[in-house]
């Protein structure tokens, strides 16, 4: 006869579905990066795909630096002392998802342009890629948040609306 197996804690999610605060922050920063990069692409009146890519990357790096600076300054204000070098190092080595999540849509922009499409079509293709990434993020939110299927679909649609809105903006503006 074997001993009974120990019981797991009631209703505790499996380790694979637990998300750390750091992972949540990276995900949120990535989503924000997709929205900002898509916004720049939608509003840009750049003469070429390369100029559009540079505009997106410069904007994202500026936003990243501003956010990191604001966090360091906020610590100084709320903690009442200079941030440690460790804090400064932590701030300048994190949050890069804001920039890196734009690389796939920017790659689509360049690829479609190189394949012969016009700049507007290439930009819209990149915006469609951004919208798909946002929808995937919305779907994953539903999975991670243990939502019902209907709530998960709603989460996906809400995330996708950001991208669709930017595609409409691009079509209307240009």
Transcribe 81-102 into DSSP letters: SPPPHHHHHHHHTS-THHHHTT
For 50-102, write each residue's pLDDT tens digit.
Answer: 999 999 999 999 999 999 999 999 988 998 888 889 989 999 999 999 999 99
Residue 13 clears pLDDT 60, i.e. is over it: no
pLDDT band for position 14 (cuts 50, 70, 90): very low
Cα 72 to Cα 48: distance, rounded to the nearest angstrom = 36
With the CA atoms of 112, 116, 120 and 123 taken in that order, what torsion angle do they form, in degrees rounded to the nearest 10?
A: 10
For 143-169, write each residue's pLDDT tens digit.
Answer: 777 888 899 999 899 999 999 999 999
Residue 5: predicted pLDDT: 56
As a whole number of Å, the end-to-end CA separation of the chain is 76
Inter-residue contact 26 to 96 (CB < 8 Å): no
Angle made by CA atoms 147, 98, 76, in degrees to the nearest 5: 100
pTM of the entire predicted model: 0.82
């Amino acid at each position: 006869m074997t001993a009974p197996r120990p019981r797991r804690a009631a209703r505790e999610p499996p380790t694979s579905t637990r998300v750390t605060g750091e992972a949540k922050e990276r995900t949120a920063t990535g989503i924000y990066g997709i929205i900002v990069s898509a916004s720049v692409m939608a509003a840009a009146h750049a003469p070429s795909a390369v100029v559009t890519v540079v505009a997106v990357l410069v904007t994202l790096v500026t936003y990243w630096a501003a956010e990191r600076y604001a966090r360091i300054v906020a610590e100084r204000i709320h903690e009442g002392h200079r941030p440690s070098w460790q804090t400064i190092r932590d701030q300048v080595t994190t949050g890069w998802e804001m920039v890196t999540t734009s690389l796939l849509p920017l790659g689509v922009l360049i690829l479609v342009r190189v394949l012969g499409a016009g700049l507007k079509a290439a930009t819209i293709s990149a915006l469609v890629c951004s919208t798909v990434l946002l929808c995937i993020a919305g779907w994953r939110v539903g999975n991670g948040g243990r939502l019902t299927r209907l709530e998960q679909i709603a989460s996906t649609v809400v995330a996708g609306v950001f991208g669709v809105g930017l595609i409409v903006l691009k079509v209307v503006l240009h």
